[in-house]
Amino acid sequence: MPKRQYILAIACHLAIPAVVIASGVLFSLIDPDMARGHADYARNFQLLQLAQRGTIAAMAGLVLVLWIACCYLVLESKQRALPWLLLAAGGPFGFTFIAMLADKAPAPDDLFQQFLRNLKIYWRIALEIALFISVWFLASEIVGVKRDLMIAIQSYRTGTPVEAIIAEQNASSGMWAFSEGLQVMYLVVLIYLLWPLFFNWTARLRRPRAA
């Protein structure tokens, strides 16, 4: 079983998109034009605008707290010193190094850590490089498949040709590229978090067969 801190770290990371979506819904519900018809229109309009901005600020703050908590809990599960938390400032790139850190007190059934400890240093370096490339490639492919799927669903629901939807997205390519870049970075961290669990699960499945 994975350590409690590690499970909490995954939970914190999974909570990030929920917070972003909830804040987006709340932002759309707060419409400054609702102040129309009231006696103090100008003041109410400004208050509603301030509330809108407050939802964005609150979302950003909560996402930051969840991100730092995720990195801290991973380090805590590996019994690593607090200064390593500075790597959290590097986003998914910094988390890559946090994920590379060996567990100082691994669980007896942690086959992943046992595998890493048995590797020679040059094989460990090769493994981490291959894993880094594979994780970013997989995350990019997942976002690409998701984009194509959403376009197909939108085309089916609205009757708009796929080519027209793609052309509309290309017209605002900067915004779409930024959004997909954030999705890729989120998935990179998620894959790194799930990778040890997947390794242990598949290794345990193979053990009885080997026996």
DSSP assignments along 100-168, one per residue: HSPPSS--TT-HHHHHHHTS-HHHHHHHHHHHHHHHHHHHHHHHHHHHHHHHHHHHHHH---HHHHHHH
**pTM for this entry:** 0.86
Residues in the chain: 211
Q: Which of 123, 135, 69, 63 is nearest to 96 (CA)?
A: 135
The percent of the chain in helix, strand and coil, each rounded to the nearest 5, is 85, 0, 15
Per-residue pLDDT tens over the stretch 70-127: 999 999 999 999 999 999 999 999 999 999 999 998 888 889 999 999 999 999 999 9
Q: Which residue has the higher pLDDT, 148 or 84?
A: 84
What's the CA gap between 176 and 174, in Å, rounded?
Answer: 6
pLDDT for residue 131 is more than 70: yes
Mean pLDDT of 23-38: 76
Q: Would you list the domain boundaries of the chain?
A: 1-91, 106-211
Residue listed under structure tokens 């669990």: 197
